[in-house]
Amino acid sequence: MPITLSDARLAEIARTAAVPRYARAALSAGIVHFGVGNFHRAHQAVYLDALFNLGLDQDFALIGAGVRATDADMRQKLLAQDLLTTVVEQEAGQSQARVTGALIDFLPIGDPDAIIAQLADPKIRIVSMTVTEGGYYIDPASQRFDPTHPDIVADAANPTAPKTAFGLILAGLNRRREADIIPFTVMSCDNIPGNGHVTQNAVVGLAELFDRDLAAWVRASVAFPNGMVDRITPATSQRERDTLARDFDIADGWPVFCEEFKQWVLEDHFPAGRPALEKVGVQFVPDVAPFEFMKIRILNGGHATIAYPAGLLDIHFVHDAMAEPLIRRFLDKIEREEIIPTVPPVPGTDLDDYFALIDRRFSNPKIGDTINRLCLDGSNRQPKFILPTAADRLKAGASVTGLALVSALWARYCFGVSDSGKPIPPNDPNWDRLTALAAKAKIDPAAWLTMTDIFGSLASNPTYVTAFITALAALWRDGTRATLTRYLESGL
């Protein structure tokens, strides 16, 4: 019988997994984190756990917070196991498990009073978040904060009882301002270009809707450091729970499986103080932008490149997609010919070596990352990971044949049926809109480009329009496999 994860049984669990070497009861909170999902628990929480194991900065423990209904399920599962998480790092030849204990509380979901009170506590010096690329209320076409979104309008109308993470953060900051308490630093841990700037725009943009003085104070007084985060972390399923029980004799309601590799690059701008994360591998730099740009274009753009052809070919796992020569060659060609040439030099990094690392990481058979996860939320991810690269190529007078094909594959995928006729389940917040347009685009490929909120100026660029129409027409006429083959051999 596997050992149920809890503080009381850590000594037994230590036989098969690393466990905290610090006294959890001695920890005190310094960070409130919104979005206690798999990535956060495999990344920020792991770095803090390692720091606490060194006996350092144990007053920067985590308190979880959330605003979505799904956060309540996570909270319930974690509270049942004393807020511990088992993190299993997997490479082709080995797996190792560790139990992390950096999370010491999880605030009630949907209780703004409790969350705002915690944010106002002077001991909280950092508020961090992983709310996904789609959680920042960004207009897809302009990539700017959208003050007209109903959630934002609702928070502006009721700023003392907000429902979004940004409304809660703003309410906490306002309470600190009124009490003359130094503002906490707001730190995004999401894969968004200039994530610190984007977060600042969301918080300030909300404030401007109802209190311009507060907005000006936030802009002048609150730090929003940019950061680049990286670790491939699949969703948890029963497969992972069973593997943990079988291989490590641990019963965890929501374990996290991830790759061994992890990276975190941060701007060192924390006026209220920060933990010494450089002691455990975090890289502090004056400018994160080059690292962030490289990662978003090469890694996240690479994920988008392989996702939709694999989905249309009924491939379930990412490593199986990489084992398909057609998809691997497609990724290599897109990266080397159209993506990497748009990435400026990165300090201390060879871009070819970086792509070779990405290729190895995508091919890791132990991760169990799914194509379904990579295909998720394309209406938010395409405008961040693929379309800006295409726009830069067009400005340089360069070809966008491959990148237009990537977006055409997304359009074909959103039709909701794979090449074999297998149904594709809803996989985007805008799925109904996308499937309706995908059906029209089967007959008239240009219909897909009527989404100017997503494609912006690309929708009217003759070069891009021609490349996209050619690609989508080929996919419907010849199928995914034949289209990729022809693109690789002679273009479209």
Q: Which structure tokens are listed for 347?
A: 């300090």
Please state the separation of Cα 237 from the chain's center in Å: 18
**Averaged pLDDT, 162-179:** 97
**3-state SS of 220-231?**
HHCCCCCEEEEC
DSSP at 348:
T
**3-state SS of 157-196?**
HCCCCCCCHHHHHHHHHHHHHHCCCCCCEEEECCCCCCHH
Distance, in Å, from the CA atom of 55 to the CA atom of 75, rounded to the nearest integer, reads: 27
Which residue type occupies 123? K
Whole-model pTM: value is 0.88
pLDDT > 90? residue 227: yes
Are the beta carbons of 345 and 334 closer than 8 angstroms? no
SS3 353: helix
Q: Looking at the DSSP assignment, which residues form a beta bridge with residue 145? A: 138
| Residues making up the chain, counted from first to last | 492
Phi, psi of 61 (to 5 degrees): -70, 165
DSSP at 271:
T
Q: What is the pLDDT of residues 362-400, one digit of tens each?
A: 999 988 899 999 999 999 999 999 999 999 999 999 999
Phi, psi of 263 (to 5 degrees): -150, 145
Distance, in Å, from the CA atom of 377 to the CA atom of 412, rounded to the nearest integer, reads: 15
pLDDT > 80? residue 172: yes
**Averaged pLDDT, 466-483:** 98
Are the beta carbons of 231 and 263 closer than 8 angstroms? yes
Residue linked to tokens 């950092």: 126
Distance, in Å, from the CA atom of 113 to the CA atom of 36, rounded to the nearest integer, reads: 19
**Mean pLDDT across the chain:** 96
Question: Which domains does the chain possess?
Answer: 3-285 (3.40.50.720), 289-490 (1.10.1040.10)
Q: Which structure tokens are listed for 113?
A: 């009073």
Distance, in Å, from the CA atom of 130 to the CA atom of 44, rounded to the nearest integer, reads: 10
Q: What is the pLDDT of residues 345-372, one digit of tens each?
A: 999 899 999 999 999 999 999 888 999 9
**Averaged pLDDT, 447-466:** 96
Q: What is the pLDDT of residue 192?
A: 87
